[in-house]
């Protein structure tokens, strides 16, 4: 069921990306189809890159969060990864632009992350990325 829920997240995340593009953050989205593509790309990039990015950031995270004891620090690292994925998706997709560069990526990723968490929780579609990736991989190998 986890993989199916993860698939239902994509159109919801596309709508959230469109909402973010209507805010004065410098995030520009040409259409819903571009937002849908961006949601898919962000999800796929997250699935493929989450472990390498966490591995690269792990030593710094372990020191600054005291091994995970300071939860807000963990949120900051997840946000940094989201900023990277957001910027990478904007670089890859024509029609998804960050008008103010890094500032737009930072603000857009923050609003996107918070809105996604709230909306997906309200819709009971909140599946952690790592659990969804595990379900997807185990389903592919079974």
Distances in Å between the alpha carbon of 60 and those of 70, 85, 129, 139?
A: 13, 19, 21, 33
Give, for all 142 residues of the chain, the pLDDT tens digit: 556 777 788 899 999 999 999 999 999 999 999 999 999 999 888 888 878 887 887 788 778 777 667 777 777 777 888 899 999 999 999 999 999 999 999 999 999 988 988 998 898 887 654 444 444 445 544 4
3-class DSSP state for residue 28?
Answer: strand
Q: Please tell me the pTM assigned to this model.
A: 0.76
Question: What is the residue extent of each domain of the chain?
Answer: 2-141
């Amino acid at each position: 069921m986890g993989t199916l829920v993860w698939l239902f997240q994509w159109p919801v995340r596309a709508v959230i990306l469109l909402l973010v593009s209507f805010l004065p953050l410098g995030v520009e989205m040409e259409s819903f189809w571009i937002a849908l593509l961006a949601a898919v790309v962000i999800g796929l990039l997250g699935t493929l890159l989450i472990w390498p990015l966490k591995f690269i950031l792990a030593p710094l995270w372990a020191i600054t969060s005291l091994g995970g004891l300071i939860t807000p620090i963990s949120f900051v690292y997840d946000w940094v990864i989201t900023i990277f994925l957001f910027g990478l998706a904007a670089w890859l997709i024509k029609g998804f632009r960050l008008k103010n560069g890094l500032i737009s990526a930072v603000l857009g990723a923050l609003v996107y992350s918070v809105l996604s968490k709230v909306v997906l929780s309200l819709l009971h579609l909140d599946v952690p990325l790592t659990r969804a990736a595990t379900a997807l991989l185990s389903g592919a190998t079974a």
